[in-house]
Amino acid sequence: QVQLQQWGAGLLKPSETLSLTCAVYGGSFSGYYWSWIRQPPGKGLEWIGEINRSGNTNYNPSLKSRVTISVDTSKNQFSLKLTSVTAADTAVYYCARGQVDTAMITAYFDYWGQGTLVTVSS
C-alpha cells in the first residue's frame, strides 16, 4: 500500500522560505510525477508543481518564480521550497502521486499525503 508522509515547519513569518518534505512508502518511485498542491483555508485546490524521479519539473506559472521542487531518490523523498512567503501563502499543503498517461502528462492523483497547515503571520 502506497503511503505519503509529509512534514515541515507550520508557522512562518512574511518573507521567510517555506520548506516541506514528502516521503513515499510502498510502491515504486519511478514512472510517476510527484506533486505539491495547496488549499487556502475555506478555498479550493491549487497545483504548485511536480517532479519525477529524473528530476524533471513542471511548475504552476503563477508560482514558478518562487518555487523549487527537488527529489532525493536515495530516500524516495521529494521536497518543496517556496520563497518570500506572505499571508496569501497560508494554506494546507499536500503532496500527491500523479499518474502519468501516454502523453506523459499528469492525468490524476491517486495517493495524497495527510496535509500540512502552513501559517504565515508576523
Partner 1 sequence: SYDLTQPPSVSVSPGQTATITCSGDKLGDKYACWYQQKPGQSPVLVIYQDNKRPSGIPERFSGSNSGNTATLTISGTQAMDEADYYCQAWDSSTGVVFGGGTKLTVL
Residues of the shown chain interacting with partner 1 in the complex, contacts defined by CB under 8 A: 35, 37, 44-47, 49-50, 58-62, 94, 98-99, 101, 105-110, 112-115
Closest approach, Cβ 74 to partner 1, in A, equals 26
For partner 1, the closer of residues 72 and 101 by Cβ is 101
Closest approach, Cβ 69 to partner 1, in A, equals 12
Distance CA 63, CA 40 (A): 15
Distance CA 34, CA 97 (A): 5
The three three-digit cell numbers of residue 100, written as one number:
502519468
For partner 1, the closer of residues 11 and 105 by Cβ is 105
What values do phi and psi take at 69, rounded to 5?
-115, 130
For partner 1, the closer of residues 76 and 106 by Cβ is 106
Cα dihedral across residues 59, 62, 63, 66: positive or negative = positive
